[in-house]
Structure 1
Amino acid sequence: MRSWTFSTEQIAPAERHAAWQAAMERLKLPVSSVTDPARFNGRVSCLVSPLGIEVARVEATPQEISGSYPAQQPGIWLSLLVDGKASMIDGERRIDLAPDDLLFGPTGIPARLLFTTPFTQLFIKVPHVALSARLVAPLSLPLGYLPGQGGINHVFARMLSALAASIDDLDATQLRPIELSLTEFLLTCLTGRGASPLIGCEANARAANLHSICQTIETMLADPELTPSKVAAAHGTSLRYLQNLFAQSGQTFSNYVRTRRLERCRADLVSPVYVNMSVTEICFRWGFNGSAHFSRTFKAQYGVPPRDFRRQALSDAVD
């Protein structure tokens, strides 16, 4: 999906509600009602990063977003209240939100957000492929709440608030450094003490330990001889514990490392910083031992060879 904008400003008042619902459908956000259809106003600015992370700033008059869109790409959504008053209602639980508060959950499950004043909200969708190797059971997460007034949550919220303020001045290629930091922030917050609720105490501890080990792996991805034993030693844990953590997350150490190397290569292939670096140089940069093996593995993961992927990405950037 291309980056896009929408505004009700030039639409007749009687037609604005229907036009707004259509615009929000593009974001997979079901609008159940608006407070005053005759005076409704709304605006959307949406960018899609090279790795498929969708970032949208939504500004509108009071309304309710509730329900679900089950038929959409698996992943995790995140929302930040930038301005206004809102509440999340989850069964019998109601959380009144303040600016800088964040919500999260897996895509496709029901959620209810009630905006009681004019508001500005940043909505982000992170594809499953960007998170599944980094988080225990990401699609098993319930709806969650991250208060944004202190600690790492506040740092994360401030970064997202700056992104919301600048979205009209950015293009998709400029989101590349943001998408890398975004996933790191999200994982750190979800596996930290500020997230409520998470999968459960024991599972949350496993997620935090796995995330910490994965951060160690990130510093070692370029080593073509990277082994579980090396990571366990660098992290100060036992090999058996490391292997058990990966097994409990439904994957293996080797699959995780291969996936992260592929994701790093994919990011470099579309980065203007490495436009003069060959595909072979990029694959060796991230620990692959040969270009032929890398090409086969990349195609198996993403459906196209790395050279074709780079060519198409560069063509899209020019368009």
Structure 2
Amino acid sequence: MSLSLTDETFTDDHPGMARLTRLAAVSVHASENKGDLYEYVSTHVGSIGLGEIAGIPGTILRRDDSGPCSGMVELTLQTSGRCYVRQDGREASLVPGDFAVVDTRLPYQLTFDTRFTCLVVAVTPQLLPLKPCALKSMTALRVPGHDGIGRLAAQFLKNIAQQATEQDLRNNHELASAVVSIVTAALTNQLDECSGETPAAHRASLLPRVKAYAEARLDDPHLNPADIARAQHISLRYLQKLFEAEGTTVSDWVRRHRLEHCRVDLVDPKNDAMSIAVIAARWGFLDSSYFSRIFKSTYGSTPREFRMAR
């Protein structure tokens, strides 16, 4: 995988930066450790790219004439040092825990004034549930990582990066979908706080946050609509109306996503030694009979039949 480091111009008076340009001009798949050069480790989670980089003070610059680019939307999560992100007339100053996104198809600039480390998450724009105008309003927008959904998203991304070093997640598209949901929710929430919005826009931006919150807690068998509403500081009735607009209910949405996680786990060979009851409980289904019944009504076969048919 190669993130947008392959597309940019690096500028600095430091003698190591000339060598960095040559390193950045190739698709990097393994860790590099060459003194002041960047250390770069990359992998995939489903269709999402993950990269961990560390380096010296300098600037990553994409101009209008920089040539072909990766065409990705990239999130930079600062883990040490400071980064200044500039795009679309905005500048975000990131300290450890903060993150921001850039659209690599357009000019942007990243400036590091100290040695730094950061996590980069690369997503194709088509995977983001955002209109182009909405994405443009979110670039170079600082999402604080010290509290709220920004903190939840930052910790989630760090955990995913750590997990990706321990096991192969390249085919885990469900996890990739969860990453997209929580990142979108954090960005939307921060945009709302910075700019204010109409009631209709608030409803449209609130739903991704609600879904991200519920997605992160599907393993809790006691998760219920009242708890979700309370956590989002809205009434239960208002929460129900958000889902009614999509032709479903809160409980149906939670149940459907739990079932999908169970379905994926049942066909995953690494879970062959795990009983169906344990897999069901892992996603909040404590009643095996109930789980078997709704699984069959959803997928047309019992969990055991489904697993054997794999």
Q: For this structure pair, what is the TM-score category when the shorter chain's length is used for normalisation?
A: 0.5 to 0.7
- 1:216 and 1:208 map into 2 onto residues whose CA distance is 13
Alignment partner of 1:268: what SS? helix
1:89, CA displacement in angstroms? 1.2
Equivalent in 40, 45, 55 of residue 60 of structure 1? 55
Q: Give how far 1:212 is off.
A: 3.2
Alpha-carbon distance between aligned partners in 1 of 2:193 and 2:203, rounded to the nearest angstrom = 14
Q: Quick check: 2:59–2:112 contact (8 Å CA) kept in 1?
A: yes
The residue that corresponds to 2:299 in the other structure is 294
Check if 1:79 corresponds to 2:79.
no
Q: CA deviation at 1:123?
A: 0.8
1:173–1:206 Cα change, 3 Å: closer
Cα shift at 1:121: 1.8
Change (3 A) 1:79 1:85: same
Q: Report how far residue 43 of structure 1 moved.
A: 2.6
Please give the per-residue CA displacement for 1:173-227, whole angstroms capped at 9, x wherever unaligned.
599898798567536534545876579454245422563377569878999xxxx
Distance 2:212 2:158 in 1: 27
Equivalent in the alignment of 1:88: 85
1:44 to 40, 43, 47: 40
Question: For residues 51 and 152 of structure 2, what CA distance do their matches in structure 1 show?
Answer: 20
What is the DSSP-based 3-state SS (H/G/I as helix, E as strand, rest coil) of the residue aligned with 2:145?
A: coil
The answer to whether the Cα contact below 8 Å between 1:216 and 1:231 also exists between their aligned partners in 2 is: no
Residue identity matched to 1:87: Y
1:171 aligns with 2:171: no
Residue pairs, 1:193-232, within 5 angstroms: 197=194, 200-202=197-199, 203-208=201-206, 211-212=209-210, 215=213
Whether the 8 Å contact between 2:143 and 2:190 is mirrored in structure 1 is no
Shift of 1:102: 0.5
Code of the aligned partner of 1:38? A
Structure 1: distance between partners of 2:38 and 2:125: 29
Secondary structure, aligned partner of 1:276: coil
> For residues 92 and 284 of structure 1, what CA distance do their matches in structure 2 show?
45
Per the normalisation by structure 2, the TM-score is 0.55
Q: Are 2:186 and 1:189 aligned?
A: yes
Amino acid across the alignment from 1:35:
T
Moved more, 34-43 or 177-186: 177-186
Residue type matched to 2:100 in 1?
L
Task: Flag the 1:217–1:171 CA change in 2: closer, same or farther, 3 A.
Answer: closer
Post-superposition offset of 1:34: 1.1
Report the residue type matching 1:289 in the other structure: I
**Unpaired runs of 5+ in structure 1?**
1-22, 224-229, 297-305, 312-319
- Structure 1 residues 190, 151: closer, same or farther in 2, change over 3 A? same
Match of 2:143 in 1: 146
**CA distance in 2: counterparts of 1:294 and 1:158, whole angstroms:** 34
| 8 Å contact from structure 2 (residues 218, 284) kept in 1 | no
**CA separation in 2, counterparts of 1:197 and 1:59?**
30
Q: Residues 70 and 266 (structure 1 numbering): CA distance in 2 closer, same or farther, change over 3 Å?
A: farther
Match of 1:121 in 2: 118
Shift of 1:292: 8.3
Which of the numbers 31, 35, 57 marks the counterpart of 2:7? 31
Offset, 1:146: 0.5
Following the alignment from structure 2 to structure 1, what is the Cα–Cα distance between the partners of residues 112 and 227? Answer: 53
Mind listing any 5+ residue stretches in structure 2 that lack a counterpart?
21-36, 230-234, 286-290
TM-superposed CA distance for 1:120, in Å, is: 1.9
Instruction: Tell me the alpha carbon deviations over residues 278-300 of structure 1, each in whole angstroms, 9 at most, x when there is no partner.
Output: 69x8699568735485279xxxx
Count of aligned residue pairs for this structure pair: 256
**What's 1:276 paired with?**
274
Quickly say closer, same or farther: Cα 1:28–1:262, change in 2 above 3 A.
farther
Tell me if the contact between 1:145 and 1:196 (Cα under 8 Å) persists in the aligned partners: no
Distance in 2 of aligned mates of 1:246 and 1:64: 42
Q: SS at the partner of 1:114?
A: strand
Shift of 1:87: 1.5
SS of the aligned residue for 1:146 comes to coil
